[in-house]
Amino acid sequence: MSQIDKPDKSDSTKASENRRRVGELGEGIACRFLMKHGHKILDRNYRKKWGEIDIISKKDNILHFIEVKSVSRETLPNNVNHETDGYRPEDNVHSWKLKRIYRTIQTYLLDKKVSAETEWQIDIMAVFLNIKTKKAKVRITENII
């Protein structure tokens, strides 16, 4: 097939690629933010078939299991401005998602042979991206359980 004969990507494929790109960018920004604030990044995108943990870090002998929610103006629903409408992407971490994260944490602790006495917590980071200005805002909600 020549370049001319190739079909255009569907809108849903483009949207999916855009969300993935925003997610990857947001996780990178989240890691830099955490390191700047004294965290050591231990793992990223720890995956099991029942769940994933975006970032695992350690600070002050506490393990942080971090779920990152990234949004940009390009991926927000129409007519929503995260700066003025109080949009909270962390509200998209529903109870079923927390159950999957918790199960994945238990697997991580076993896989890495982490002592049962080790303190750990689940944090959620919201990363607001403005792709055009190449700026981001980060909001962290710590120890959500």
Task: Give the span between the Cα atoms of 102 and 117, in whole angstroms.
Answer: 17
| Model confidence, pTM | 0.80
pLDDT single digits (tens) 85-142: 566 777 777 788 889 999 999 999 999 999 999 999 999 999 999 888 889 999 999 9
Q: Where are the alpha helices (DSSP H) in 37-117?
A: 95-111
Domain 11-141 - what CATH class? Answer: alpha beta
Domain chopping of the chain, boundaries: 11-141
Q: Smallest Cα–Cα separation from 61: which of 16, 119, 116? A: 119
Phi-psi label, residue 31: left if phi above 0, alpha if psi -120 to 50, beta otherwise = alpha
Q: How confident is the model at residue 13 (pLDDT cuts 50, 70, 90)?
A: confident
- 3-class SS of residue 25: helix
pLDDT single digits (tens) 14-45: 778 888 888 899 999 999 999 999 999 999 99
